[in-house]
């Protein structure tokens, strides 16, 4: 395993040197989540892993990447919301004014940033999948779609359309992800919650791209 030395700013703005690694082993990722998540959140995470691995086999996505991204996607979910906001500001993660109003959408970007700058983990594909698992993003790749959708449809999720979404994802990952996004947007409208601008951008982009795909 190649070990790098990284220079990062810690939370107080003091420069420190941290040892980074350019690969993260599955066992280490399990240790991280076991030490960070409550039993319920851990169960959800393991269900995302199971479903993400099944979908990755079906759609030819690299299994180790799917395994790592699924394991780590909610790593920072249970950090105190005020702390999440504080770190997001310090790390330059806030991109929209809406981010400030919805701290519950920050945990993906925070986990990706922490893994990159504090653990030295460099796989951009896995980091993007973690960062974008809640809102999606324009230009989503196959691993991003897989984690976004597996999170929404893992076996413990239970809402009327979930089986249809699971089947759709199994049949066609792009179309299935589009259906997941449509479901999320409809659900937010129904519950009178604001649709985040990044969710809109992600949806419009995927809709446009899938029109041209065979
Ligand atoms: O972390 P999980 O609970 O497994 O799932 P998640 O990361 O997909 O969702 C976190 C929350 O974010 C969930 O309550 C739904 C919400 N959310 C997703 N997209 C949007 C959103 N909330 C708003 N206001 N707008 C969005 O576009
Ligand atoms: Fe999440
Ligand atoms: Fe999740």
pLDDT tens for residues 59-101?
A: 999 999 999 999 999 999 999 999 999 999 999 899 999 999 9
Of 123, 126, 125, 127, the residue nearest 114 (C-alpha): 127
8 within domain boundaries: no
In CATH, what number is assigned to the domain containing residue 207? 1.10.3210.10
Q: Is pLDDT above 70 for 18?
A: no
Q: If you measure from the C-alpha of residue 111 to the centroid of ligand 3, how many angstroms do you get, rounded to a whole number?
A: 12
39 within domain boundaries: yes
Closest residue by Cα to atom 6, ligand 1, is: 134
150 within domain boundaries: yes
Q: Is pLDDT above 90 for 135?
A: yes
Rounded Cα distance between 35 and 49, Å, is 17
Domain count, the chain: 1
Give the structural domain span for 81: 25-212
Name all residues whose Cβ lies below 6 A of ligand 1.
Answer: 44, 74, 77, 102, 104-105, 133-135, 151, 184, 188, 193-196, 199
Question: pLDDT (tens digit, 9 = 90+) per residue, 22-65?
Answer: 567 899 999 999 999 999 999 999 999 999 999 999 999 999 99
13 within domain boundaries: no
26 DSSP 8-state letter: H
Beta bridge mates, 16: 8
102 within domain boundaries: yes
3 within domain boundaries: no
Q: Is pLDDT above 50 for 6?
A: no
Helix, strand and coil percent figures for the chain, each rounded to 5 = 65, 5, 30
Site to substitute for ligand 1 among 75, 104, 129, 147, most atoms within 8 A of C-beta: 104
Q: Are 136 and 164 in contact (CB under 8 A)?
A: no
55 within domain boundaries: yes
Q: Which of 7-21, 151-165, 179-193 has the lowest mean pLDDT?
A: 7-21
4 within domain boundaries: no
Task: Give alpha helix (H) positions in 154-196.
Answer: 162-171, 173-190
Q: If you measure from the C-alpha of residue 18 to the centroid of ligand 3, how many angstroms do you get, rounded to a whole number?
A: 28
């Amino acid at each position: 395993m190649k070990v790098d030395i990284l220079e990062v700013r810690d939370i107080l703005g003091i420069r420190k040197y941290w040892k980074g690694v350019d690969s993260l082993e599955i066992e280490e990722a399990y240790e991280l989540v076991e030490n960070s998540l409550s039993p319920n959140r851990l169960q959800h995470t393991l269900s995302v892993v199971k479903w993400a691995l099944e979908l990755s086999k079906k759609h030819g996505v690299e299994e180790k990447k799917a395994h790592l991204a699924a394991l780590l996607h909610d790593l920072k979910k249970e950090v105190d919301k005020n702390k999440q906001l504080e770190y997001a500001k310090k790390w330059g993660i806030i991109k929209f004014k809406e981010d400030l109003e919805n701290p519950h959408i920050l945990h993906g970007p925070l986990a990706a940033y922490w893994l990159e700058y504090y653990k030295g983990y460099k796989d951009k594909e896995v980091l993007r999948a973690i960062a974008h698992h809640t809102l999606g993003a324009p230009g989503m790749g196959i691993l991003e779609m897989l984690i976004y959708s597996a999170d929404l449809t893992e076996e413990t999720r239970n809402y009327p359309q979930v089986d249809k979404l699971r089947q759709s994802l199994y049949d066609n990952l792009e179309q299935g992800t589009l259906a997941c996004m449509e479901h999320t947007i409809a659900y937010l409208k129904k519950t009178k919650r604001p649709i985040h601008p990044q969710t809109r951008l992600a949806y419009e982009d995927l809709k446009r791209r899938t029109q041209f795909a065979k």
